[in-house]
Amino acid sequence: MTSVLGVMNPNLINGRNLHKGSLIFVKVEEIKKRGQWRFSIKEKSLRTPQATASSTTEPKLGVITNDNVLENEENLKRQLKKLKQSQVDGVMVDVWWGIVESKGPKQYQWSAYRNLFAIVQSFGLKLQAIMSFHRCGGNIGDDVNIPIPKWVLEIGDSNPDIFYTNKSGNRNKECLSLSVDNLSLFRGRTAVEMYRDYMKSFRENMEDFINSGVIIDIEVGLGPAGELRYPSYSETQGWVFPGIGEFQCYDKYLRSDYEEEVRRIGHPEWKLPENAGEYNNVPEETEFFEYSNGTYLKEEGKFFLSWYSRKLRLHGDQILDEANKVFLGCKLKIAAKVSGIHWWYKTESHAAELTAGYYNLKTRDGYRAIARMMGRHHAILNFTCLEMKNTEQPAKAKSGPQELVQQVLSSGWREGIEVAGENALPRFDRNGYNQIILNARPNGINQDGKPRMFGFTYLRLSDKLLREPNFSRFKMFLKRMHANQEYCSEPERYNHELFPLERSRNDESLEKFMEETEPVDPFPWLEETDMSIRPFESILSLLQSTFLRKKS
């Protein structure tokens, strides 16, 4: 389960036109043992839907067990009560396909999630619900195992090509390959139809929580870890940071699609890459990613990378279109997550991004087309690694998380869409918090308040977060995200009113939405945030509150 801690920032209070704020959510993480809860930060899990006005926290991923039971209810209530006192906006929750539809096709069991949502509602918190069509387990920060539905896995036993496959033939069962999006292989349904039916059943069974304004955000899972990418770097396949990963397009359906495409353009001799190395190679060890004369620079390599990245965008476009139709008219936002693959960003080939499906180079913006596609469906682009600084990364990884965040957020803002964020790794220190605040408001507080993130999700909720001095520092972070303003429970007063979801735009051709774009300079960023948490500030605040409590 994921929970969102949100802090909202008023925009119009007492007749004053204040800066616009962001939502803050906290995500709940899975538990290693039943009966144990913790609120902790997880890699790639800090999100800010409205980074200056609200925040969310995510509870443990395993708050609903594989048996579809809500466990540790009293401990959950204790944690949510404390979160509410910190003035977050809400919690983010993974709604696992593998749990809800585990019994068989269209046999949905929602009772445990309804119980959970009712508890969240009772504390006056909002909900971000993730349509989690992937497996939990095998990604950084995962500490439970929730597979995709057993009956789907059984189909894969006889037809393993429904899963992503690397050049060695190894299958990744974390999620279904995008190659089966439109193939009726699942007892008469396609993969997209399964996702659509699941979302329709969710809406029908959670209508009261949607209509009452408890559920304000639906994040649509589009791949491994819920992200729009290929599973190019998976620990279950032996990947170790900062390996470049491997292309995942060798199942028979994607292979056939590529062969048809190269025949169509008159190059039947072109094959899927066999020279791109293995999971833990570095770029210069491979012929494909070699800096000066690699295959990625040649006509054949360019065509492959365009095809590979375009298939990913079409996959996201189709599923978001279905989500838009399902939740049309609901007063909520839909969102999708893009992974922050920062390692090898400061190399010519950007190898780790390329294997994940992001065709991003110095001469080519691999994220603008994704932002444009999301904008077509009125979706929020949710990005990760907001807490990271370049100096914190090992030199050998040639990472550029700061430049990557600036590029992706700027791509979203230039396309006129709302952008949200998450942290990638657990952080309880003021340096991590200050970097998040900076990325949420890169130009600081001003009358226009732009560019500005729509919201942020903090991963995750844990006992460690709720212990002192961590919790006092976290509350100080929330206060800064709200630009030191008091909590406001009326989003329309700070320009975050929810309107009925409109139908996806169809005013431009699909080809236009799929076009890659030339790089443009990102928006300017301050060197450091103008709302910094100062050294010892949270400790002094804790001592002061303790003194006042004892005095009273």
Start-end of H helices in 225-298: 252-264
Cα 537 to chain centroid distance, Å, stands at 31
Task: Give backbone dihedrals phi and psi of 219, rounded to 5 degrees, phi first.
Answer: -95, 125
Catalytic residue among 227, 246, 348, 418: 227
Beta-sheet strands, E only, within 203-349: 215-220, 333-338
DSSP helix/strand/coil, 540: helix
Distances (CA, A) of 326 to 109, 202, 208, 216, 330: 19, 10, 15, 15, 9
Distances (CA, A) of 95 to 3, 101, 221, 526: 11, 11, 10, 37
Known active-site residue 422: yes
Instruction: Determine contact, residues 335/379, Cβ cutoff 8 Å.
Output: yes
Catalytic residue among 29, 353, 422, 516: 422
- Please name the amino acid found at residue 28: V
CA angle 523, 449, 9 (to 5 degrees): 135
Length of the chain measured in residues = 552
Known active-site residue 235: no
Beta-sheet strands, E only, within 347-429: 379-383, 419-422
Instruction: Report how far residue 186's alpha carbon sits from residue 205's, in angstroms, rounded to the nearest whole number.
Output: 23
Q: Dihedral sign for Cα 36, 38, 44, 49, please.
A: positive
DSSP helix/strand/coil, 227: strand
Q: Catalogue the active-site residues.
A: 227, 422
